[in-house]
Structure 1
Amino acid sequence: MFLTRFRFNTARMGARRLLTAPQSLHAAVMASFAEKVDHQGGGPRVLWRLDQDLRSDVLLYIVSPHRPDLTHLVEQAGWPTTGSWQTAPYAPFLARLAPDDTWAFRLTANPVHSARRHAAEPTKRTAHVTPRHQLDWLLKRQTDAGFAIVERPERLPDELDGVWREVVVHNRHDLTFGKKDQSDGRAHEVKLTRVTYDGRLRVLDPDALRRTLTVGLGKAKAYGCGLMTLAPAE
């Protein structure tokens, strides 16, 4: 496994085009690998996420089973003569995860649920739109994903269940774009909501957490959702 970081040159037309078109950016990420990546099995896959740091830099993070070559991204959306990308082996870090370790985390995800207006109607995948329900979506998945968000009983409780947790839900983006159906070639509209979670977690099950970090969490992984990364907790 490899973890890669690339910085966009947002002054370039190619960067602006990719940053506003999730399908195009997904295609650019997948073009970073000489061999076609198989996402049909349940093993590690290619995950990606866009971050904006305090300097307003726009960063692309990629987790992948194989080392990527982002030459085409540098040429289209980076600094061809002075910029590059950074890739590091991910396995040594994953091997260090241990029960009860505490880490800062960031996750961009597509929090959805199945809903219907009446009993005769089939269920439809629907986005959670409030921070409270978006947080609840993550809390329902944390144990199976191998972690628990850090709780602070000495703080005033929140409105969810009377427990204050070290997590913030922010940076919501509602995306709408067209996509061709592979079966009949017809175009249809895709709508999805991306939100970012920043907080601190405690490791419950290292193997389950390793799977979360390499397989992703939730839906819409092709469109920049599902990638969780960890950093030393202050």
Structure 2
Amino acid sequence: MTVLPAPLHLSRLFLNPRHRHAARDLGSPYALHQTLRWAFPGAGQEGGPLPDGERLLWRLDTLEDPDSGQATPAVLVQSMTQPDWGALNARDPDYLSAWDVRTLNLSPTLSEGRVLHFRLRANVTVRRADEQGRSARHGVYRPEEQLAWLDRQGERGGFDVLGADITRSERVRTRKGKQVITLHAVTFEGALQVLDPTAVMGAVRGGLGHAKSLGCGLLSLAP
């Protein structure tokens, strides 16, 4: 059964750490997201929208550099639109030291009952009301509450978390103009079992949690 109506594209980007803008973006999730938009037609212009239906997800990760073979900071980008990283590099020469794009077809993998490895960096929050009844989001800091949050995402996303480790829990600050944004990001790794293939594909395409434009929410799956 075909679960995904259109293919996803998964890009691996290796930013040149000696490039002034790349070095800035590696320390600023908001700036990095704005730069990534330049690979999509019209989206890099000030206020320009992403293509219709696009949900751009990304995660700063550590991957093996294809040239040196050394572990190095890299960016994983998942998109529904075919990105043009050459156009980004032409606009800002040598911003990227290397990149590759592959088509991501998870439909054969997402069979009911299948056990998969996953990685997720998420903004783990819950909504709470104050004494005046006003609702706001709050970060979740205790590991058992973070894992409970992940279980709830699985219930909504069509999968059962069989086991998960928290490999990183951090407070991230970034600047959007004069506004300083602070969020709590948690990286999970573990195994899940597919219960509802269509719902899992929806979770992959749409991401999990909030702060997706700041490098959170990308659910990566592998056999």
| Alignment equivalent of 1:179, drawn from 173, 176, 180 | 176
- Deviation string 1:194-232 (CA, Å, 9 cap, x unpaired) is 111100111010000011111111100000001011112
In 1, the alpha carbon distance for the partners of 2:151 and 2:220 equals 17
| Alignment equivalent of 2:16, drawn from 2, 9, 12 | 9
Map of 1:184 onto structure 2: none
Stretches of 4+ aligned residues off by more than 4 angstroms: 37-41
Normalised by the length of structure 2, the TM-score is 0.82
Aligned-pair CA distance for 1:44 = 5.2
Change (3 A) 1:116 1:189: farther
Change (3 A) 1:40 1:76: closer
Structure 1 stretch displaced more, 106-115 or 29-38? 29-38
Identity %: 28
SS of residue matched to 1:75: coil
- Deviation string 1:126-183 (CA, Å, 9 cap, x unpaired) is 1111222111111112021111111xxxxxxxxxxxxxxx211122221223325xxx
Map of 2:35 onto structure 1: 28
| Alignment equivalent of 2:147, drawn from 128, 135, 149 | 135
Matched ranges for 1:141-152 at <5 A: 141-150=153-162
Map of 1:70 onto structure 2: 85
Structure 2 residue runs without a partner (length 5+): 1-7, 65-69
Code of the aligned partner of 1:179: K
In 1, the alpha carbon distance for the partners of 2:106 and 2:154 equals 20
Structure 1 residue runs without a partner (length 5+): 151-165, 181-186
Map of 2:100 onto structure 1: 86
Do the aligned residues in 2 keep the contact of 1:14 with 1:76 (CA within 8 Å)?
Answer: no
- Residue 114 of structure 2 is aligned to residue 101 of structure 1: yes
Aligned-pair CA distance for 1:88 = 1.2
Aligned-pair CA distance for 1:117 = 4.3
Residues paired across the two proteins, number: 204
In 2, the alpha carbon distance for the partners of 1:69 and 1:40 equals 13
Code of the aligned partner of 2:158: G
Map of 1:45 onto structure 2: 55
SS of residue matched to 1:10: coil
Do the aligned residues in 2 keep the contact of 1:15 with 1:76 (CA within 8 Å)?
Answer: no
SS of residue matched to 1:57: strand
Code of the aligned partner of 1:177: T
Normalised by the length of structure 1, the TM-score is 0.78
Code of the aligned partner of 1:86: D
Change (3 A) 1:176 1:146: same
SS of residue matched to 2:84: coil
